[in-house]
Amino acid sequence: MTPGAPAASAVGIAKSPRRTILGTSLNVVAPTGEYFPHKLINLGTNRWAFRPELAVSQPIGQRWLLDAYTGVWFFTANHESYPGTVRKTQSPLGSFQAHLSYNFTRKLWAALDVTYYEGGRTTVEGAAPTDLQNNMRAGGTLALPVGQRHSIKIALSRGAIVRLGANFTSYSFAWQTAWAPRATPAPEAPR
């Protein structure tokens, strides 16, 4: 067995050259939550959902960073939809996100964010679907450092294009903590 490269330290990661990064992920949502087939509105969905996703992170100069993600949600059928004996299906739902961020300092940054969804029509017992989702949200994020290991993240998003569903504004506030150990300078060699 051939060992891989040694793990990088926090200092090594911080000093590594900025380059394009490609990534993938797979989100899986299990049919959890309360579900009652005889009720029209439920907390649970009584189906599985899967989203494979591809991402790219592209540095632009020393302070700008462009992140983009694209994926498709796939859904299994719900065979116990209201009133409990109806089969409900949903077509794939494409998703796209992009974030353009600017680093003022290592710990202080701001970003413009956009999210777009299209597809996801639902069909009940084969009836013609009428609920195509085609929505876009836009917003911004600001991260402010608090000491050496903490930061406050403030974000706002609004519906930019809302063709189906509620048009709402969301605000979020988060406290973040970095658990990675701080770098300590190497001791000086004796003279």
Residue by residue, pLDDT tens for the chain (191 residues) are: 567 778 877 777 777 888 999 999 999 999 988 888 888 888 888 999 999 999 999 999 999 999 999 999 999 999 888 888 889 999 999 999 999 999 999 889 999 999 999 998 989 887 887 788 889 999 999 999 998 889 999 999 998 888 777 788 999 999 999 886 665 555 665 65
- Predicted structure pTM score: 0.75
Kindly list the distances between the CA atom of residue 45 and the CA atoms of 118, 147, 166, in Å, as whole numbers in the listed order: 20, 42, 19
In this predicted structure, what is the pLDDT of residue 2? 62
pLDDT for the residue numbered 1: 57
pLDDT at 98: 97
Domain count, the chain: 1
Classify residue 89: in a domain, yes or no.
Answer: yes
- 99-103's contacts with Cβ under 8 Å and 24+ in sequence apart are 99/65, 99/66, 99/67, 99/68, 99/141, 100/64, 100/65, 100/66, 101/64, 101/65, 101/67, 101/141, 102/63, 102/64, 102/65, 103/63, 103/64, 103/65
**pLDDT for residue 93:** 95
Residues 6+ apart with CB under 8 A from 32: 44
Give the residue numbers spanning the domain of 44.
17-140
How many residues in total does the chain contain?
A: 191
